[in-house]
Chain A
């Protein structure tokens, strides 16, 4: 697989729009932070030593491939264009920190479900990204990848403290489990602040906009575990799954109530969004995100039965700046982007 092919492919595995509760949970992610025992952590690594880490990860790939029965390829960041790096960030395959680092590399499985960032904050960040609410499946795959790698790489680990990480906030399991949720019902019914605000008490961290008057951001929230030490991986996974399931229930009942009590306002809002998205000639990324969220709500409530649900996650990614530029194969001015974004959205929605 070539990087170029992979980058032009808009739909990563996690964007397929299927999976359990996929109408509300866009994706599930598990990531494990691992370091090599005998080498300084990335922030204190010389360029030569960093290259050595990349080589050792490269040498470990056959073990990974055979254990997971998947093909993997390693792509060094050095020599990768700025645009390609941005697209990898927009596909959620690498972090902005990694994108800036010439001594780093990224390992990708062909279906983009498994990725490994090499020389990010830790030597390895093993990541599994799946559509819908599938934390347990994601954990099982991450666990298998980690086991396969630990057979050939000597990870920094102590019996008392577990996996030793560059930042002590990741110590222990080195694990961050997260879900990305679309919660327009809770935001519209003004319950998001109360419900999400209570999550830290349950061991979860929420990122997203949920203050007053902040429904503009696509109603997307990322929820992840707060601590990494003192709980088993399974406990962390189960806890977050159960939080996500409860939020799914709350979101569903909020949508039902809204539809029952404010049907015409809701239909009006959804259909106006559809109207603008199918007619606009210029559209900013913020406006697109807001209207796409309304559109997705309308699809889920069967107000727009002819629009396929995955246009939401497809377009959320495909209308981002890096993607538009990759498709155009050049840098674009802000107005060119707004023009291309609007055109792309119209095409996607009218192709049905």
Chain B
């Protein structure tokens, strides 16, 4: 017996196409023979790594679907597009922006598992401010790096900036909790 890995699609030919995702120290591996990789379009080098991500998702959705079904037995459909959780679990695709609210409870653990994070810290559309929490997180990273690289002056400046933002966030958060109209 050779130590060769067989293709996980057909099980017939040795796998020569390999892909591994490691998120939070858990690895998901995809091993395909050339033919199956080609059929899945994995072979078109510059294109999107679609197939393996869907594989990864499908496993996760199955895993979480049970827990979600117990919590919301009504199987509600998204008011925006009519998608049900069953549809989502089958395809791994959402139907509209509102799906993210509709299935928030089910999505959270999936998103955490896929990305290792649940909060966006990147850019925002023009005219929308990057949320304070995200800015704080960005600054904290720069602070860590500055400390690691012994740039202490910059570190001190970043720490002040973070404190200031945290203070403003506390104030704004308090105000909206007390006075602001609740969005649903």
Residues of A within 8 A of B (CB): 27, 29, 35, 37-41, 43-44, 89, 92, 95-97, 121, 143, 146-147, 150-151, 154-169, 171-173, 175-176, 178, 180, 197, 200-201, 205-214, 220-222, 224, 226-233, 235
Contacts and interface: CB of A to CB of B under 8 A. Distances in A.
Q: Is the interface of B mostly helix, strand, loop or mixed?
A: loop
Contact of A208 (B45, B93, B115, B127): B45
A169 B114 contact: yes
Contacts of A232: 121-123, 138
Contact of A151 (B17, B23, B95, B127): B127
Contact of A200 (B15, B20, B91, B96): B20
A121 B80 CA distance: 18
A225 to B, nearest CB: 10
Contacts of B5: 211
Nearest to A27: B46
A311 to B, nearest CB: 18
B123 A173 contact: yes
A208 B22 CA distance: 17
Contact of B96 (A44, A162, A171): A44
Nearest to B27: A200
B146 interface: no
B41 interface: yes
B14 to A, nearest CB: 8
B36 interface: no
A233 B123 contact: yes
Interface core residue of A95, A96, A229 (most chain B CB under 10 Å): A229
A213 B5 CA distance: 13
Residue among B82, B107, B114 facing the most chain A CB atoms (10 A cut-off): B114
24 contacts: A29-B46, A39-B96, A44-B81, A44-B82, A89-B44, A95-B48, A150-B126, A157-B124, A161-B100, A163-B120, A164-B94, A164-B100, A165-B94, A166-B93, A167-B94, A169-B56, A169-B114, A200-B21, A205-B21, A208-B45, A209-B34, A214-B34, A230-B119, A231-B122
Which of B27, B83, B94, B107 has the most C-beta atoms of chain A within 10 angstroms of its own C-beta? B94
Interface in B27-80: 27, 34, 41-42, 44-50, 52-54, 56-57, 80
B165 interface: no
Contacts of B57: 167-169
B126 A180 contact: no
Interface of B: 4-5, 14-23, 27, 34, 41-42, 44-50, 52-54, 56-57, 80-83, 91-97, 100, 107, 110-111, 114-128, 131, 133-134, 138, 141
Nearest to B130: A159
Nearest to A92: B46
Contacts of A38: 97
Nearest to B17: A209
Contacts of B47: 92, 95-96
Contacts of A40: 80-81, 95-96
Contacts of A175: 122
A228 B44 CA distance: 22
A221 B22 CA distance: 19
A208 B42 CA distance: 8
B97 A156 contact: yes
